[in-house]
A and B are shown apart, each in its own frame.
Chain A
Amino acid sequence: MTDNFNGIELDFDSPVDLQSVYDDSNVQEVLNRLDHELIGLKPVKTRINEVAALLLVDRLRQQMNLSASMPSMHMSFTGNPGTGKTTVAMRMAEILHRLDYVRQGHLVAVTRDDLVGQYIGHTAPKTKEVIKKAMGGVLFIDEAYYLYKPENERDYGAESIEILLQVMENQRNDLVVILAGYKDRMDRFFHSNPGMSSRIAHHIDFPNYSPEELLAISKLMLAESNYRLSSEAEAVFIDYIKIRMQKPHFANARSMRNALDRARLRQANRLFQSRHSKLTGADLITIEAEDLLVSRLFSEDNEDENAESV
């Protein structure tokens, strides 16, 4: 049955093959990898799957000559330090590329310094240069709230925001902008820049990791650099994570990376001390409980609580 739907000849009964469009895009591979390599982050993954579904259905609609206006894909990633905002942004560029939303699929990561100039007339060319570099891909602005400094009315950040807004609105199919930052500060940033907030379609919040997730992440990191935790070390490390989470300046996965780097340092030292006895390959890759237990975090009188090097 062919019917007229808003002036479009549409075959209401013709089957549509979503599966083949899905298979063609190869997006499954990226989504699987995302699922596999990124621990936790349930709400983020759900959102990314939704975005992928929307873009796939849009492509199908286009094949049926239905209007498929480019949906806005600008995003804001909020969350505590070390929750994987940058990592997800990189994957996002690839996903959007597979779904044909962006043409090149590269990621340009910038901060305030790259966008805002130092004197009058410096900002606009600088911002435009960055925008031009990011075209056809994703522009990732880390700690975007620094762009707007309300306490200084002569700050050039506002000019940069203005140019960004214009491009975000008018050249939506050339560029995807992802803003990232800590939740509370980003909320304040959006509050004082309602234009920015309304042009961003997807506000994604990155949750903190649970101790189990942090352990899984740590194991992944270790496996990447060919290390492993001994079973005793693993038990110690989960205690370490729980204590570390209560301490100030806890930065989720980043803190884990720092802790592991320090453990590697201690392991190397331990091996060096015992260089007269026979060492095996297993010694080289294994981090033992004692490498972790020396951490100042486990000593009772922790004087310098603010130090990141605990």
Chain B
Amino acid sequence: MMTNTDSRLTQGQFSFLPDLTDEQITAQIKWALAHGWAVSVEYTDDPHPRNTYWEMYGMPMFDLKDPAGILMEINECRKTFPRHYIRVMAFNSERGTESPAMSFLVNRPANEPGFALDRQETSGRTQRYSIRSYATDKPENERY
């Protein structure tokens, strides 16, 4: 996008910062676990901002006490999908909230082509705009 000159995907927390190290990821997960949120690992190769539901990696992880288990899962996922976007999500199941409380990227492809802005002429002189990831021109699993 225009304001993002590196064309690095900016979704979720910390996405304008340099990539988090494993220690930093561990510290964030610790925070989530301390709140009693269920942490899960998700991946996708379609980074469109409206693509909210990513694929979950492995089984959901409830009742964990220590971040080591989640870091293990993150590393497994990185090994399986080295060129996908991977994010860690913490779900707050508290009544009244019941939604993700945290979400941050832990893996991104080496080369991120960014998004195209599509313009469409419609009735009158109205313009409709949409954005589209350059990567999604290719079929799934061949995008990065």
Contact = CB atoms under 8 A, between A and B. Distances in A.
Interface in A151-178: 171, 174-175
Contacts of A136: 65-68
A104 B66 contact: yes
Interface string B43-87: 000000000000000110101111111101100000000000000
Interface centre among A131, A136, A171, A175 (most CB of B within 10 A): A136
B44 to A, nearest CB: 21
A137 B66 contact: yes
Interface size class of chain B, counting residues whose CB lies under 8 Å from the partner chain: 10 to 19
A277 B19 CA distance: 80
A135 B59 contact: no
Contacts of A174: 66, 68-69
A89 to B, nearest CB: 16
B32 to A, nearest CB: 14
Interface centre among A128, A131, A132, A137 (most CB of B within 10 A): A132
B64 A135 contact: yes
Contacts of B67: 136
Interface string A122-148: 000100110111011100000000000
Contact of B65 (A128, A129, A137, A171): A137
Interface residues of A, number: 15
Nearest to B65: A104
B64 A171 contact: no
Contacts of A133: 63-65, 69
Contacts of A103: 66, 68
Contacts of B65: 104, 106, 133, 135-137
Contact of A131 (B59, B69, B70): B69
Contacts of B58: 125, 128
A133 B65 CA distance: 6
7 contacts: A104-B65, A104-B66, A132-B70, A133-B64, A135-B69, A136-B65, A136-B67
Given A131-B69, A135-B65, 16 more contacts: A104-B65, A125-B58, A125-B59, A132-B61, A132-B64, A132-B69, A132-B70, A132-B72, A133-B64, A133-B69, A135-B64, A135-B72, A136-B65, A171-B68, A174-B66, A174-B69
Interface of A: 103-104, 106, 125, 128-129, 131-133, 135-137, 171, 174-175
**Closest 7 pairs (CB-CB, A-B):** A136-B66, A132-B69, A174-B68, A135-B69, A135-B68, A135-B66, A104-B65
